[in-house]
Amino acid sequence: MILTMSLPDIAEMAAAERLPLLLSAPWYGSYVCNQGLTRLRLTLHSLPGGDGTRMEAEFAFSPDPDNPSVSTGLFRLSGTLNPTSRMLVLKQDRWLEQPTDPSYRMVDMEGQLVIGEEQAMIRGRVTTYGCQDFAVWQFFADAATSR
C-alpha cells in the first residue's frame, strides 16, 4: 500500500511545524481605535500545562508616522489559540505601562492566524467599543533571528 499526501496536507504540516517559532517572536502591525491608526507589537506566549491552547500576550502600542500624536503603552492579555481553526481570542488583563492620558484603555481582540510560505499574519477585530480591525505580520527570517 502506498501512502500519498496532497499538497494541502504537506503545506498544513509545514505550517504546524512553524507554529512554535511563530509563538516565540513578536508580531508587528497596526490597529485602529478612537485615537486613529496606531502601531502594534503583539508578543504571544503559550502557557504551560493543559493542551497548549492557553495564551498570554503583551500588547504594545505606539504612534504611527501617519498619526504621531498617539501615546505609547503596554498591557497584558490572556486567552486562547485554537490549533485547528487557528482562531486567537485575547481579553484584556492588566496594564504594564499605562499612558498618562486617561482616555486610553486596554482592549480585547480576536483574529485568525494565517501561515503562508514566507510569512504569517494574524488579522481580525479589536472587539472593544470604538475600535476596528487589526493586522500583525511576521516574516519567517525575522522570527528565526529574534529567538
- Could you read off the pLDDT of 38-84 as tens digits, one per residue? 999 999 988 876 565 899 999 999 999 999 999 999 999 999 999 88
Residue 44: inside a domain: yes
Residue 8 reports pLDDT greater than 90: no
Burial of 130 (0-12, 13-18, 19+ CB in 10 A): exposed
**Integer Cα distance of 87 and 144 in angstroms:** 23
- CA torsion, ordered 143, 144, 145, 146, to nearest 10 deg: 50
Q: How many domains does the chain have?
A: 1
CATH number at residue 12: 2.40.128.620
Model-level pTM?
0.82
Nearest to 127 by CA among 26, 29, 33: 33
CA distances from 15 to 10, 18, 37, 76 (A): 9, 5, 30, 27
Q: Report pLDDT digits (tens) over 71-80.
A: 999 999 999 9
Residue 1: inside a domain: no
Quote the domain boundaries for residue 82: 7-145
Residue 2: inside a domain: no
